[in-house]
Amino acid sequence: MGGKKQKCFGKDVFERMNFLYQAGTLMAGNNKALSCYYGQLCKSIGKKAVLRIEPNLHRTMCKRCGNILKPSKSAELSISDENPKMCVITCNVCGKCRRFPINPNYNLWFDNPQSVVEEIRYDGESDENQKN
């Protein structure tokens, strides 16, 4: 009725996920169990609110245990000689391997300007409102 209209849906959930990811990153070298717990909690909060984790962050999380993958602290990084060349990241906690092709010309769809429909800023105005 007279309540405030929320401009950015799920802002509080994104902030919580951001905090858990940062906490998991800090704990990655010291306490692996706690890092795994924070990573799993970050994923589950995103699933419950039906929000996606940014692809750059999602690539740094283990699919199996949720550990934040930091080279030489919580993961081993190697480059395979197969064709095409692959970056292989192996989790030190559970042993799960993630493979990413190495292609300097490849851009994620998320980074492509065509993928952005509307940009919502936390100050309350969107890009469409600023253009008018």
State yes or no: pLDDT of 93 exceeds 90.
yes
- The mean per-residue pLDDT over the stretch 44-54 comes to 93
The dihedral sign for the CA sequence 64, 22, 90, 30: negative
The DSSP secondary structure of 3-29, one letter per residue, reads: PPPPSSTTHHHHHHHHHHHHHHHHHTT
The reported pLDDT for the residue numbered 49 is 94
> How far is it, in rounded angstroms, from Cα 86 to Cα 95?
17
Q: Which pTM does this prediction carry?
A: 0.78
Which pLDDT score is estimated for 5? 59
How is the chain split into domains, by residue range? 11-117
Q: Given a cut of 70, is residue 65 above it in pLDDT?
A: yes
